[in-house]
Amino acid sequence: MGIDPRDRRIAKLLLWIRQNGRCHYCGDYLDPPDMTIDHMTPRCLGGADALANMAGACYRCNQEKHERRYWNYLRYRRKRGEVI
Ligand SMILES: [Zn+2]
């Protein structure tokens, strides 16, 4: 069951508040409209379209993570020498 598109804006705002306006992955500050919704377990891999499975991310990180699972993406970034 998906989230109503009207609720998506609210979900975004909740994520923005939860993360103090920062990207979950790189920590960059984002203006609320620039935050994208990342599904930590991608929907194509069975992840729920629910707040518990969402992280707010900048466009760049979300694109890069793409269809990776959350932990795989963190491992990928750590290999690149980034501390998360
Ligand atoms: Zn980012």
Partners of residue 56 on adjacent β-strands: 37
Which two structure tokens, joined as six digits, stand for 55? Answer: 């992280």
Residue among 56, 62, 51 at smallest CA distance from 23: 56
CATH number for 65: 1.10.30.50
**11 within some domain:** yes
Residue range(s) defining the domain that contains residue 30 = 5-79
Residue-wise pLDDT tens digits, 12-65: 999 999 999 999 999 999 999 999 999 999 999 999 999 999 999 999 999 999
Residue 26 in any domain: the answer is: yes
Give domain status of residue 36, yes or no.
yes
Give the distance (Å) from ligand 1 centre to CA of residue 76.
14
Indicate whether 84 belongs to any domain.
Answer: no
Ligand 1 centroid–CA 23 distance in Å is 5
b/e sequence 19-39, b meaning 16+ C-beta within 10 Å: bebbbbbeeeebeeeebbbbb
- CA–centroid distance, 20 to ligand 1, in Å, is 13
pLDDT at 4: 74
Please report the pLDDT score of residue 2 as a whole number. 64
Residue 45 belongs to some domain of the structure: yes
Query: Using DSSP, how many helices (H) and how many strands (E) does the chain show?
Result: 3, 2
The number of distinct structural domains making up the chain is: 1
> What does DSSP say about strands 36-39 and 54-57: parallel, antiparallel, or unpaired?
antiparallel
Q: Which residues contact 72 (CB under 8 A, 6 or more apart)?
A: none
